[in-house]
Amino acid sequence: MNLLDRTETVMVGEYDNKYVVEDGEWKITASTLTERWRMRKPLAPEVEMTEGTFAADLEI
């Protein structure tokens, strides 16, 4: 969502990640995203956007 120009963008892509094992844990050393397609459209005037909660904001 772009709040400045009131548009919505949907994109599909594929990640190509490179991994190594450090101290017994897998770590990503490189990540490349290849975009396959993108759709951008204006939001209708009646669309209302509200702030949500991200998992990182939740207490576990």
Place of tokens 């548009």: 7
pLDDT at 37 (0 to 100): 98
Cα–Cα dist 40/44, whole Å: 13
pTM (whole model) above 0.75: no
pLDDT (mean) for 20-48: 96
pLDDT (mean) for 33-50: 94
Q: What is the mean pLDDT of the chain?
A: 92
pLDDT at 20 (0 to 100): 98
Task: Examine the pLDDT at 32 and tell me if it is beyond 70.
Answer: yes
